[in-house]
Structure 1
Amino acid sequence: MSAAVPDMLKLQYELESKAAKWYATIDTANAFFSISLAAECRPQFAFTWRGVQYTWNRLPQGWKHSPTICHGLIQTALEKGEASEHLQCIDDIIVWGNSAEEVSEKGKKIIQILLQAGFAIKRSKVKGPAQEIQFLGIRWHDGQRQIPMDIINKIAAMSPPTNKKETQAFLGVVGFWRMHILNYSLIVSPLYHRTQKKNDFKWGPEQRQAFEQIKQEIVHAVALGPVQAGPDVKNVLYTAAGENGPTWSLWQKAPGETGVGDKEDPRPATLQRKRRYWQPMKGFELLQR
């Protein structure tokens, strides 16, 4: 089996650490269908439709190993072609640099390597060079990751859920951005409580408040940047207590940053998350060493 697809969170942290000024993204067109299946492998993908038997001769979408195989083949091609520094997640690739010219040259070389390896490139899927770009569903600018405006608008326009399935779907959407939200778990706790099998679905004032609050937090969510070091960098520890125990998160405030809310809101406009938000299970003791 090929090299595993890299962890999304690790990719985000690595791209943060570059603190780049310019970006470009490359997305191969129909990458799976650019990969031929060996003749001896094709029988295992046979299927019948309207009484006629068919089989795939290209790597099919939906097969559990297709992303891993595709990622590995593209990774091998880029390594053999000595591609410039980049990050890759299956068929999505991003390059960065300090100038538009530098990024443009890096992108052109990667495109050339992929074309020579037999992959197709759709020019409309090549974005940049730009100082702000979207990669892996996240908006990137100056080494900081932000929630894209179309996602913010989509969440802000959502209507209250009417059953458990809709509540779970809503939590899935907002949960992807939980690292941008201070005390996320405490805010959405009333919503999670309603999705448990043992509980009936009841939409009351507590759920309504949690639903509206988390939407507002998404609208005003801060950008996340890389962890910094230095005498002028301020570390801020936030703590809170809920029914299931204490919660805490450690953030950084870079020099010169101002608050995002009113005068009593200590959160900076750009925050660096030092540790992931963690909430211990009820009945367990929180130990800090």
Structure 2
Amino acid sequence: MCCDCRPINNITVRYRHPIPRLDDMLDELSGATIFSKIDLRSGYHQIRMREGDEWKTAFKTKSGLYEWLVMPFGLTNAPSTFMRSMNHVLRMFIGKFVVVYFDDILIYSKTLDEHVEHIRCVLAVLREEKLYANKEKCTFCIEKVVFLGFVVSGQGVEVDEEKVKAIREWMPPQNVSQVRSFLGLAGFYRQFVKDFSTIAAPMNELTKKYVPFKWANAQEKAFQELKEKLTSAPLLALPNFGKTFEIECDASGVGIGGVLMQEGRPIAYFSEKLSGPTLNYSVYDK
């Protein structure tokens, strides 16, 4: 059911709970070889409204006035409330063998025996807190798992094949909105592409204010190059904080880039397009 929550959101005191960074969560998986993923069923609806506050969520229908007994979608503080609840429930496991992103719970371990015990611990807490999983969306004791758009295994992190398929089949943009959509999806995986910002620069130019849309050879070349690099993206290693890191960096006429490595394997690529006076800096200063 979809309700317009704007009236109550306009008079709600905002509450912000930290949402975990995707990079930080992936870093925690270093060394793990076996994974399980638990997805909660209708996660928001498993959070009860505080008794006496139900009237604040009242909405009209043709058959009468109704109130929510559970937390509905659309409330401005709903994401923070849910994330805070999940962090509290699983607080003793987070950072040890669990990462949580809203209703997605990922359990990771180095051995199967460890993993079975970790699963038991998590399920016991969920049972105690009366949080119910969606059995059809749960996977247990697997060596490779799709988590938040990435494929994670003991070897490292790679792009999700479903997203790669969408990129491979993407037609050349016909307007600025389509350019932004493509760059949004491609940008999600920018850590897999060396010099991403420099390559995408011609397409980014079209998204600027007062710049007319004109799909020229430069944009087509950038579009095809990004597609090619994303569909053949490398397997990135997960960082081992007990070992030495290496950084290689470079600069060109329009941007700077670098790669973080460990034992010769890339962990992530970084890049930035330069503008203004920084374009005139020497390569060393860039």
Bin the TM-score by the shorter chain: 0.7 to 0.9
Letter in 1 for 2:60: T
Shift of 1:40: 2.9
- Is the aligned partner of 1:145 residue 2:139? no
SS at match of 2:124: helix
Shift of 1:146: 0.7
Residues 166-185 of structure 1 aligned to structure 2 (within 5 Å): 166-185=178-197
Letter in 1 for 2:77: H
Letter in 1 for 2:71: L
- Is the aligned partner of 1:38 residue 2:33? no
Is the Cα contact below 8 Å between 2:259 and 2:266 reproduced in 1? no
- Is the aligned partner of 1:254 residue 2:248? no
- Over 3 Å counting, the alpha-carbon distance change for 1:12 and 1:83 in structure 2 is closer
State the alpha-carbon separation in 2 of the partners of residues 160 and 83 from structure 1: 42
Counterpart among 183, 187, 192 of residue 204 in structure 2 = 192
> What residue number does 2:39 align with?
27
> What residue number does 1:282 align with?
276
Shift of 1:84: 6.3
Superposed CA deviations along residues 57-110 of structure 1, whole A, max 9, x for unmatched, are 211112222122112222222237999631111121111112233223312321
Shift of 1:165: 0.5
Counterpart among 158, 163, 167 of residue 155 in structure 1 = 167
SS at match of 1:39: coil
Residues 39-118 of structure 1 aligned to structure 2 (within 5 Å): 39-50=51-62, 52-79=64-91, 85-118=97-130
TM-score normalized by the length of structure 2: 0.83
Is the Cα contact below 8 Å between 1:27 and 1:122 reproduced in 2? yes
Is the Cα contact below 8 Å between 1:20 and 1:143 reproduced in 2? no
- Is the aligned partner of 1:239 residue 2:250? yes
Q: Which runs of 5+ in 2 are unaligned?
A: 1-14
Is the Cα contact below 8 Å between 1:74 and 1:114 reproduced in 2? no
State the alpha-carbon separation in 2 of the partners of residues 123 and 160 from structure 1: 39
Letter in 1 for 2:252: A
- Is the aligned partner of 1:164 residue 2:176? yes
Shift of 1:222: 1.3
SS at match of 1:197: coil
Aligned length: 269
Superposed CA deviations along residues 150-193 of structure 1, whole A, max 9, x for unmatched, are 21111011111110101100110110000110000011111111
State the alpha-carbon separation in 2 of the partners of residues 201 and 3 from structure 1: 39
TM-score normalized by the length of structure 1: 0.83
Letter in 2 for 1:160: P
Say which is worse superposed, 26-35 or 219-228, in terms of deviation: 219-228
Is the Cα contact below 8 Å between 1:83 and 1:109 reproduced in 2? no
> What residue number does 2:267 align with?
272
SS at match of 1:173: helix
SS at match of 1:224: coil
State the alpha-carbon separation in 1 of the partners of residues 55 and 199 from structure 2: 51
State the alpha-carbon separation in 2 of the partners of residues 13 and 229 from structure 1: 9
Is the Cα contact below 8 Å between 1:2 and 1:72 reproduced in 2? no
